[in-house]
């Protein structure tokens, strides 16, 4: 069949080798530790250094700052491996912060932080969501008041992936509350020994148990004014809107990888499991369900590959990235739910990967901007012709 022979256009021989190396690393070094990490609510700190040693951190950035001289395809390959193996170490936010620094950081900021992020000596997190402001980034309340050579920060952030280990937080703040979105700025906050900064305990999520997610608190925390991202205040909202497609496509890539993994697991199960004297696959309902899901998986794969190509070319726009994020994660959750049903009672047992996928996938429709917001972004591009 044609789709069985389909190869993603961005997956070159070099990318295949990179992905094979990543797959071995995941299988040999990460997966055996996941149960312990889930119990403690975060991965071990030394794992970041191992990821750095393997060249898996900042693979798409230039080597002059410690990166791997690759492009978005290298990051896509890593996300696919994490989906295929059923575990991601939380490097998405780390890459996203590096991407902001690469685009908007001064030479001094790049030299200060990117090499350490590439090695894993610096773990990065994103501080955008707040208890009263999630997808609506204009509604943030965290303030940064200029005081001489510093900014004084007050406020809190929530749902911070990597927050437990974060040495560097890219923080969205209001530098001028009277200007609405135009008063939002991004500050790079170094957390080590920072007075007025504290972390909450890992939040108790229904899924993604090994990826730490915490609240961060700032009480008169002082950060050098030189840590402002960009050449002036008030650029933060525009910076976020310009770079969110980078993040949202990552979520879409993971969604497609999870769809494909769910189908692989389910096909194995329905061919082995017996019901009414025959394999589950012989039942018409099973075959029709799988036929529908396979078709949707093929559509998702071709679309996400095209989005990756557009991202490599610098052409991916906000509306298309929103489509990838919304439709991909919607189909991901639907597919995993349908697959779990075909597992019957076994699908409800945590020892079966499909049950973990069911819990882990639900967050995909929320973080990176709720799917309802994605629809609004798409709708704004619709004009009569």
Catalytic residues: 247
Per-residue buried b or exposed e for 261-279, using 16+ beta carbons within 10 Å of the residue's own CB: bbbebbbebbeeeeeeeee
Q: Residue 147: beta bridge partners?
A: 150
Run of H or E including 339: helix 318-343
φ, ψ for residue 168 (rounded to 5)?
A: -140, 125
Angle at 45 between CA 41 and CA 50, to 5 degrees: 125
Token pair of 5, please?
A: 């022979």
Quick one: three-class SS letters along 194-236?
A: CCCEEECCCCCCCCCCCCCEEEEEEEEEEEEHHHECCCCCCCH
Rounded to whole angstroms, how far apart are CA atoms 189 and 227? 7
Q: Are 224 and 106 in contact (CB under 8 A)?
A: no
Rounded to whole angstroms, how far apart are CA atoms 372 and 370? 5
Closest C-alpha to 43, from 186, 161, 135: 161
């Amino acid at each position: 069949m044609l789709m069985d022979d389909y190869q993603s256009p961005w997956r070159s021989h070099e990318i295949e080798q990179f992905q094979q190396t990543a797959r071995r690393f995941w299988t040999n070094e990460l997966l055996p530790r996941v149960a312990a990490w889930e119990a403690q609510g975060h991965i071990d700190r030394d794992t970041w250094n191992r990821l750095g040693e393997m060249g898996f951190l900042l693979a798409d950035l230039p080597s002059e700052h410690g990166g791997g001289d690759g492009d978005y395809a290298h990051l896509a390959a890593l996300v696919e491996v994490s989906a295929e193996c059923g575990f991601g170490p939380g490097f998405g936010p780390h890459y996203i912060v590096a991407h902001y620094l690469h685009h908007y950081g001064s030479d001094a900021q790049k030299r200060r932080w990117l090499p350490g992020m590439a090695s894993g000596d610096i773990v990065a997190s994103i501080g955008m969501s707040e208890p009263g402001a999630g997808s609506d980034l204009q509604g943030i309340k965290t303030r940064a008041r200029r005081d001489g050579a510093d900014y004084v920060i007050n406020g809190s952030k929530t749902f911070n992936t990597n927050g437990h280990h974060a040495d560097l937080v890219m923080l969205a703040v209001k530098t001028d509350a009277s200007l609405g979105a135009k008063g939002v700025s991004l500050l790079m906050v170094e957390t080590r020994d920072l007075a007025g900064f504290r972390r909450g305990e890992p939040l108790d999520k229904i899924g993604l148990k090994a990826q730490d997610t915490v609240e961060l608190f700032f009480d008169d925390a002082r950060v050098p004014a030189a840590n402002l991202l960009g050449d002036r205040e008030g650029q933060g909202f525009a910076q976020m809107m310009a770079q969110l497609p980078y993040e949202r496509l990552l979520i879409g890539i993971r969604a497609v990888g999870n769809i494909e993994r769910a189908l692989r697991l389910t096909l194995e199960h329905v061919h082995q499991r017996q019901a009414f004297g025959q394999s589950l696959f012989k039942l018409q309902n099973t075959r029709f369900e799988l036929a529908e899901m396979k078709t949707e998986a093929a559509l998702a794969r071709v679309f996400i590959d095209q989005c990756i190509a557009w991202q490599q070319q610098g052409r991916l726009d906000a509306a298309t990235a929103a489509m990838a994020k919304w439709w991909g994660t919607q189909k991901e959750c639907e597919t995993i739910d349908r697959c779990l049903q075909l597992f019957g009672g076994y699908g409800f047992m945590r020892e079966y990967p499909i049950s973990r996928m069911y819990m882990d996938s639900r967050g995909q429709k929320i973080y990176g901007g709720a799917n309802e917001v994605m629809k609004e972004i798409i709708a704004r591009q619709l004009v009569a012709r």
